[in-house]
Structure 1
Amino acid sequence: MTELEQQLNQIQADAITVIESVRKSFEMFIDKHNALFKRACGRKPDIDPVQHLLGVLTKAHIEEASHIESQAESAAAMRKVFDENLGNEHAQKFEELGSRQFALVTHLWLYCQGYLRMDFSLANDHAFNSATLLSATTFSSTQELRTQFLESFYLGSERSPLAAKKPSKLILWLKSLFS
């Protein structure tokens, strides 16, 4: 097991529901980013590894977003061809690999932000921007994707050792909005 995978397991990010459906993408993510995580931890061993994880996930998110943006036109054209030739029902069975990887990284990134108890409004903005970008190449709505991404943030927040025993009224109210 790699250092990156161990860290993800330690904060229970490997148990995010979406990971089971994209296990291969999860493994690809670990293979691609383990060396960077290991280097970061080695250069600054006095910093908590989960902080290094956040840095690696931030970098991965930027890279995946850039990839999605650069491929948006061709992905939209491919989606249109599928729609026209296969019909909506069958076209939805095809998913671009970059979209899947971007969604995975977004879930992990937001989970880590929640785990570190970072600002909700910033996470909400990140979730919205990622969902907007992703909805252009998938069959999901922006709101649906944003809600799924925020579920990962909340899960990370709940599992955080920094969390109080009792959730704040704000968290309870926000959960009631998205349930």
Structure 2
Amino acid sequence: MTELEQQLNNIQAGSLSTIESDRKSFELFIEKHNALFKRACGRKPDIAPVQHLLGVLTKAHIEETSHIESQSESAAAMRKVFDENLGKEHTHKFEELGSRQFALVTHLWLYCQGYLRMDFSLANDHAFNSATLLSTTTLASTQELRTQFLESFYLGNERSPIAARTPSKLSQWFKRLFS
């Protein structure tokens, strides 16, 4: 088991349904990014490995986003050919590998953000932007994809050992005042 895969297992990301249903994309991700993760951990051993993981996932997400954006026209054209020649009932059987890889990286990235208890509104924006981009190459709606991505964020948040932030006294006062 590689260091990257071990770190993903340490934060329980290996049990995401996306990973379980698409093992090949997960293995490609590990193969492609393990060396970077290992280098990052070696260069700055005083930083928690989960922080390095977030950095690697952020970089991977940027790369996959760029790939999807550059391939979106050809993927849409391919989907159109499938629709016209096979019919919509068979088109769902074909999915571009880049789309699967992008979805996997997005799920892992948002899971890690949740695990680190990062800001929800930022994660929601990332989920929406990723879903919008991915919906152009898949048959799924933007809202459906955004919801799936946010499930990963919430699962990471639920599994996080980091204590949830308590609301400030001012926000508690407002809540009591308007409740």
TM-score of the alignment, normalized to the shorter chain, above 0.5: yes
Q: Does the aligned pair in 2 maintain the 1:157–1:163 contact within 8 Å? A: no
CA RMSD of superposed structures (Å): 1.0
Match of 1:134 in 2: 134
SS of 1:140's partner is: coil
Match of 1:41 in 2: 41
Deviates more, 1:89-98 or 1:155-164: 155-164
Q: Does the aligned pair in 2 maintain the 1:111–1:154 contact within 8 Å? A: yes
Match of 1:101 in 2: 101
Counterpart code for 1:85: N
Distance in 2, matches of 1:152 and 1:51, equals: 18
Structure 2 segments unaligned to the other structure (5+ residues): 165-179
Counterpart code for 1:78: M
What do the CA deviations read for 1:100-129 (whole angstroms, capped 9, x no partner)?
A: 000000000000000000000000000000
Residue 149, structure 1, aligned to residue 170, structure 2: no
Distance in 2, matches of 1:22 and 1:4, equals: 17
Distance in 2, matches of 1:75 and 1:23, equals: 23
Distance in 2, matches of 1:81 and 1:7, equals: 41
Shift of 1:163: 3.8
Structure 1 segments unaligned to the other structure (5+ residues): 165-179
Shift of 1:80: 0.1
Distance in 1, matches of 2:156 and 2:163, equals: 10
Distance in 2, matches of 1:147 and 1:163, equals: 25
Sequence identity of aligned pairs in percent?
88
Match of 1:32 in 2: 32
- Name which one, 1 or 2, has greater alpha-carbon Rg: 2
What do the CA deviations read for 1:54-83 (whole angstroms, capped 9, x no partner)?
A: 000000000000000000000000000000
Counterpart code for 1:142: T
Distance in 2, matches of 1:20 and 1:48, equals: 26
